[in-house]
Amino acid sequence: MADMGGARRRSGRRWLWIVAGIAALGAVAAVVGIWHLPDRMYTDQAARAALQSGLLTAAAALTAVAGGLIALDETRRANANTHVRELYVEAVKLLNDHERGIRLAGIYALERIAVDSPADQRTVVEVLSAFARDRSADPDLRPASPDPASPVRAAVDVHAAVTVLARLPGLAGVPRSDLLGADLTGPAALHRLQAVDGNLAHAQLVGADLTFARLEGANLAFAQLEGADLTSARLFGANLAYARLDGANLAHAGLSVADLSCARLVGADLTSAWLEGVNLAGAELGGANLANAVLHRANLLDALGLSQWQVDVAWGDGQTQLPPGLRRPASWVTGG
């Protein structure tokens, strides 16, 4: 609905400026006519004067119409900007309310502002990113877990803020999200998270439920993902350099062309994971399950803790780079 409203406003502005342009051209034509038409149409001095007067009146009227339409557009824009500012102030106030539903209303109001007013998207991104970082990192602002021994769950409003940040339309020069250092731990916290191209560098995601998450191109460098469930997550082209994924479940995850250099994957489950073209140089893979993992064109040079049995149960090709001392299984396709 927001997109449709914005499209209607843009269409209205186009037509207004078209009409203003036509009026301005008409005024110019009338002025030109003042100097040329009377002499060509009439020999009588009084008739020529009358025609010149009429053309001058028409030029003045058309100029006034063009100016009025331009002034109307400027007034509408000023009113729209005032409305956006007022809505923004009210939305930010809602983020501090003690009721979860009201905070959610503030989050979605900010999303509408970012969509309807692209000039304000950077501000909205910064506000929602700060909200997610601050609220997720403050235990006093997060609901207690039913089981004291389990991690604290991230609040619903934090999940909503992260989701909104990820689905905002991309604009040149505007970051999608900045969740640097956010604490988003806990089961069922981020199931099906949509954070394509999002920034989760250094984020605390220990034990997080990220099943079926969309994290293509996301920055997860140095993220804490021990024990996280990333089953069937889409991480194509993601940056996971130096991330800690010990004991994480990455079964059936899509990790093609991802950067996992120097990441810790000790005891991680990579069963049937798609790792084509992935960079695992310097990664720690001791005890990781690579059964049926696709390693075509993967870089495993200098990978630590990788054993022959792990290689034997995976699928590679002639371009898969293995650490010294490990042999390419006969079952792998050679030559490419």
Render pLDDT for 119-149 as a digit per residue (tens, 0 to 9): 888 889 889 988 888 887 766 655 555 554 4
Q: pTM for this structure?
A: 0.65
When comparing pLDDT for 319 and 76, which is higher?
319
Secondary structure of residue 39 in the 3-state scheme: helix
Q: Which fold has domain 210-336?
A: Pectate Lyase C-like (2.160.20)
Residue 28 — pLDDT band, cuts 50, 70, 90? low
- Would you say 124 and 110 are in contact if contact means Cβ atoms under 8 Å apart? yes
Task: Report the mean per-residue pLDDT for the chain.
Answer: 78
User: What integer is the mean pLDDT of 26-31?
Assistant: 54
Would you list the DSSP string of 84-126?
Answer: HHHHHHHHHHHTT-SSHHHHHHHHHHHHHHHHH-GGGHHHHHH
Residue 46 — pLDDT band, cuts 50, 70, 90? low
When comparing pLDDT for 68 and 30, which is higher?
68
Residue 91 has pLDDT above 70, yes or no: yes
Summarised one tens digit per residue, pLDDT across range 187-234 is 545 777 878 888 888 888 888 888 999 999 999 999 999 999 999 999
Residue 335 — pLDDT band, cuts 50, 70, 90? very low
Comparing C-alpha atoms, which of 250, 303, 247, 237 is closest to residue 276?
Answer: 237
Strands (E), the chain: none
Comparing C-alpha atoms, which of 300, 294, 291 is closest to residue 326?
Answer: 300
CB neighbour burial string for 32-63, b if at least 16 within 10 angstroms, e if fewer: ebbeeebeeeeeeeeebeebbeebeebbeebb
Residue 102 has pLDDT above 50, yes or no: yes
User: What integer is the mean pLDDT of 162-172?
Assistant: 78
